[in-house]
Each structure stands twice: as structure tokens, then as C-alpha cells.
Amino acid sequence: MTTLFISDLHLDPERPEVTRLFGDFIDGEARDADALYILGDLFEAWVGDDDPAEIGAFVAEKLRGLSKIGVPVHFQHGNRDFLVSHDFARRAGVNLLPESTVVTLYGRPTLLMHGDSLCTEDVGYQAFRAQTRDPAWRAGFLAQPLAARLAFAAQARAASLQRQREMKHDDRAQFETVTDVSPATVQATLARYGIDTLIHGHTHRPAIHSLDIDGRPARRVVLGDWYTQGSVLRVDADGMMLDALPL
């Protein structure tokens, strides 16, 4: 049996082919898994569990069906869907995980994260992250009408894209550094947990990196995004494989 990991699907009505691929994945390979872990940014944007959008209902139905046949589904918040809460989790039959979670995979302790908190060189983003994770900010935002929340999400997405374009134009090397994880932060995080395996998403740079943490071997596994293809990490008792899923 195999445990599956996905992240950064950024499901959006404007990209129906990715939503279909997700549905096929859930109805196919995922049905035979030991468990499915979704490490954030399942949605392009999530402005509250009360949003009646069809894509949310579709995803909840698919995940609930998976849970009903006995495949545990675990969800970790990303930077785009950190407002997913208990109502959606109940409808989808998923277990909400803390932003840093240690699980045991076939005898090996493994740290799971979305990954955005590891990008500590992006000072502007970390300030925004701290603001939006504040309980008072969340309460105030969710108290706004749905239309206002949707408008805020659209503006935030446009601002993020514009900032990325400007950074790429001005200094491509700096863009690559700022938008990736900080090696020092990764080292410190693994040392703090005393764990030699980290799985995360967020950076859209799929790879398995070999590391050295205080003289012991370690690895950092980065899940891919679902823009031009799908991405899945398969873990079993024999090891792990990071693979692409064709659209």
C-alpha cells in the first residue's frame, strides 16, 4: 500500500482541466491508498466556508467519497486556502492538520509543512502572512460580505502576480532566492524537530534534496504544482517516488 501527497493544485474555475485531473486522481489511484495528504493550496483562493462556489462543492464531494471508503484524507493549510475551516472539513470528511505536523510513514518520522513559513527571505510576504493568520484579522475578514471577500482575494492575487513580474524583470536571481525556502531555516527546522525527512509544497520546485543536518543525512521533498501537469509523491515501505501526472 502507498501513502499519497499532493499540494499546490490551485483549483480554479478558469482551469477546468486541472479540476478534472484532480477528480480522476481521486476516483482512481487515491482509492487504493493508505492515506491522502493535501499539503495546502488545494484552491486558488478560499474566502470562507460559506462560499457556495461549485468548485468547493465538487472537491468536498470527491474527498468525502474517498473518506467513506476508508481512505483517510488529511488537509494542511496553504497560503491561498488558510481560511478553510471546520465546516468544509466536515463536509469533505477531511482531517485538518496543524501547519507543522509530524507523522510516522512506515516507521519513519516525517515533518509535513505547506512550506511558505520556510521562505523567510521574503520579508514582505512573511509580514502579510503574520497579519492574515492573526485571529482578529480572520474574524474581521470573515465578518465581511462574501462579495467583499471575493474582491479582496482577486486584488491580492493580482498584486502577487504583479510583484512576481516586477521581481523577475528587475533581478531574476533575487526572485529565485526570495521565493524559495531559506536553507538556514530548513536546517534549523529539521534540527529543532530532530527529524531527517521534510515534505512540503509552496515553492513549485518539485525535487528530492539530500541534506546534512548536524552530521546526519536528511532529505527535503518538494511537491510540484498542478499548472501544466499534476504532481504526486508516493511513499511506501520501500521508499518514495515523486512523479508527474499528465493533463
| CA atoms within 13 A of residue 60's CA, in its CB half-sphere | 18
What pLDDT shows up at residue 85? 98
8 A C-beta contact, residue 219 and residue 208: yes
Which run of H or E residues covers position 162? helix 146-170
DSSP bridge partners of 241: 234
CATH class of 3-245: alpha beta
Please, are residues 88 and 43 in contact by the beta-carbon 8 Å criterion? no
pTM: 0.95
Which stretches of the chain score pLDDT less than 70?
A: 169-171, 173
What phi-psi label fits residue 244: left (phi over 0), alpha (psi between -120 and 50 degrees) or beta? beta
Contact between 44 and 78 (Cβ < 8 Å)? no
Helix/strand/coil for 101: strand
Looking at residue 178, what is its pLDDT? 79
Distance set, CA 100 to CA 78, 117, 190, 227, 241 (Å): 11, 10, 11, 25, 22
Given 3-state DSSP classes, what are the helix, strand and coil percentages for the chain, each rounded to the nearest 5? 40, 25, 35
pLDDT of residue 159: 87
Say if strands 207-213 and 216-222 run parallel, antiparallel, or are unpaired: antiparallel
DSSP H/E element including 208 = strand 207-213
Angle 50-53-58 from CA coordinates, rounded to 5°: 105
With beta carbons less than 8 A apart as the criterion, state whether 76 and 9 touch: no
Could you give the 3-state DSSP secondary structure of residue 119?
coil
Predicted pLDDT at 164: 81
Please, which residues bridge with residue 235 across strands?
3, 240
Per-residue model confidence (pLDDT) at position 163: 79
**Residue corresponding to grid cell 520556510:** 118
Looking at residue 68, its pLDDT comes to: 98
The pLDDT value given to residue 179: 85
20's CB contacts (< 8 A; 6+ apart) are none
